[in-house]
Amino acid sequence: MEVSPFRGIRYNQSTVGDLARVICPPYDVISPEQQRVYYKKSDYNAIRLEFPEPTTDRYERAAMTFQQWLKQGVLEYDSVSAFYLHEHQFKYSGKKMVRRGVIARVKLEPWGSGIFPHEETSSKAKSDRLQLMRACRANFSPLFCLYQDSEQKIAPTLYRVAQEKPLISLRAERGNFPDSDEAHSLWAVTDPEIKRELSELLSSQPIYIADGHHRYETALTYQQERTEEQSPTGKGAFNYVMMELVEFSDPGVIVLPLHRLVRGILPSSLMSLGDRLKDFFTVESVALRTGSWQLPVDSYLGILGLQPGSLVVLKKRQDVSLEAMMPGNRSQVYREFGVSILNHIVLDSILSGVKDTKIAYTVDVEEAHQQIREGQYQLAFLLHPPQPGMVKAVADAQDRMPRKSTYFYPKLPAGLVINPLD
């Protein structure tokens, strides 16, 4: 992959004031209620670009806003090309964490040509992102991607850069992001020698998409459209996409599971589910304790709502092979993954298929439990967190996990740096 610096577009702090009030999370984790909150935070909040209000001309309005902000000096191009070092500070399980990534421009290539996906995508999200890209001709938030620096040649360079005074330093205000202790620092790497070194080292590594499959596939489609409009030289900015590149072993790489909430199950199917599960799994019940949701290490998954006051745990049954019920064209790591077992054996086979419209997703087990108690959903299927190594193993096998298998926490913000595609 060709990884290069670029002239980013950034907010003019003298115009917008506190930068914490103008950044927002990426589009795919913003609810309609949160969308309204970000609109009220600042007249210049990036929500107006990243995820505009749902009007018939939403994409055109985002494009007009983007151009107005550039003309008014709300947004400004950096004077020279740079790699941007982003240090993301946050709390996880009560611990302070730091994740370092390099924001760069990466040349688009087909899947498997140095760039690897790990998860299925949906057409609806891609259509939305493509229309926004066509109208605005820019990336407002970076894709979150991973690389493996086994010889640790890149980390020392990033450490040296981080010793300098940052270009931007902000602490997200309460309500701006899920964790009020979240903070961001940004450095512009403009030294020609360091830029050359980073470009060579990062370009020699395979890249794995962590968060941003839809946006990458959208960028490929957009690249094809723009190439057909003009003579292909390979140098146009539309041949690239903005990424934040993070090393696999970075201690700040946190992957959470997306638990499934299910409704619409026939009462007869729900009543017989407990007995049917025993045909395929060893089934155990664990009494629920407040604040304790740890699944046993040797379990596939857990179920809330099947037995009052208990978490039903599914484990491997030694005398039963699940292989015959799994797709034959899938990798071994896919077949052993908890979400795959849930989808193919529990939802598709035992429950005879559950429509996507009857399934919701959450990373919050307490929320899942509350939804079950309130009767909003019948069952909650709790899953183990995927390890970063599992993501790499699936991608290396040229396979993909089921849609919404991973939630990389925390999300990268929109609005720190913008990548122009013209």
Three state DSSP letters for 371-386: HHHCCCCCEEEEECCC
Residue 392: band (very low, low, confident or very high) from pLDDT cuts 50, 70, 90: very high
Q: What's the pLDDT at 335?
A: 92
- Rounded distance between C-alpha atoms, residue 165 and residue 244, angstroms: 20
Q: Which of 13-22, 48-57, 125-134, 287-296 has the lowest mean pLDDT?
A: 287-296
Domain boundaries defined on the chain? 3-253+409-420, 258-384
- pLDDT, one tens digit per residue, over 336-372 is 999 999 999 999 999 988 888 899 999 999 999 999 9
pLDDT score for 175? 46
User: Whole-prediction pTM value?
Assistant: 0.93
Kindly state the tokens that stand for 140: 């407002």
Least confident of 8-12, 120-124, 183-187: 120-124
Across residues 227-246, what is the average pLDDT? 85
Q: Which residues contact 203 (CB under 8 A, 6 or more apart)?
A: 1, 2, 3
Q: CA-CA distances (angstroms) from residue 141 to 8, 75, 227, 345?
A: 12, 15, 23, 37
pLDDT value at residue 288? 84
Helix (H) or strand (E) holding 338: helix 338-341
Element (DSSP H or E) covering residue 207? strand 207-211
Q: What is the pLDDT of residues 163-178, one digit of tens each?
A: 999 999 998 755 444 4
Q: Kind and range of the H or E element at 389?
A: helix 388-396
**pLDDT over threshold 60, residue 22:** yes
Contacts of 255 (CB under 8 A, 6+ apart): 385, 386, 387, 388, 391, 406, 407, 408, 409
pLDDT of 291 over the 70 cut:
no
pLDDT of residue 179: 44
Closest CA to 25 of 403, 407, 391: 407
Per-residue pLDDT, 198: 97
Q: Using the predicted structure, report yes or no on whether residue 234 has a pLDDT greater than 70.
A: no
Q: Average pLDDT, stretch 246-268?
A: 95
Summarize the confidence of residues 209-226 as an average pLDDT: 95
What was the pLDDT predicted at 233? 61
Q: pLDDT value at position 176?
A: 45
DSSP conformational letter for 347: I
Compute φ and ψ for 26, nearest 5 degrees: -70, 160
Q: What is the pLDDT of residue 158?
A: 95
- pLDDT greater than 60 at residue 49: yes
171 contacts: CB under 8 Å, gap ≥ 6 = 20, 181, 182, 183
pLDDT of residue 356: 83
Least confident interval from 137-141, 264-268, 286-290, 402-406: 286-290
Nearest in space to 86 (alpha carbons), one of 17, 144, 25: 144
| Residue 180's pLDDT band (cuts 50, 70, 90) | low
pLDDT at site 260:
97
Rounded to the nearest integer, the mean pLDDT of the chain is 93
Q: With 70 as the cut, is the pLDDT of residue 259 above it?
A: yes
**In 123-266, which residue ranges form alpha helices assigned H by DSSP?**
123-136, 155-162, 192-203, 213-229
Average confidence (pLDDT) over 365-383: 95
In order, the DSSP letters of 76-117 are EE-SS-BEEEEEEEEEETTEEEEEEEEEEEEE---TTSSEE-
Higher pLDDT, 23 or 293: 23
Helix axes 155-162, 192-203, angle to 10 degrees: 150
Find the mean pLDDT for residues 262-279. Answer: 94
- Overall average pLDDT of the 320-333 stretch: 90
User: What's the CA gap between 47 and 41, in Å, rounded?
Assistant: 10
Bridging pattern class, strands 407-409 and 254-256 = antiparallel
Q: pLDDT digits over 54-80, tens only?
A: 999 999 999 999 999 999 999 999 999
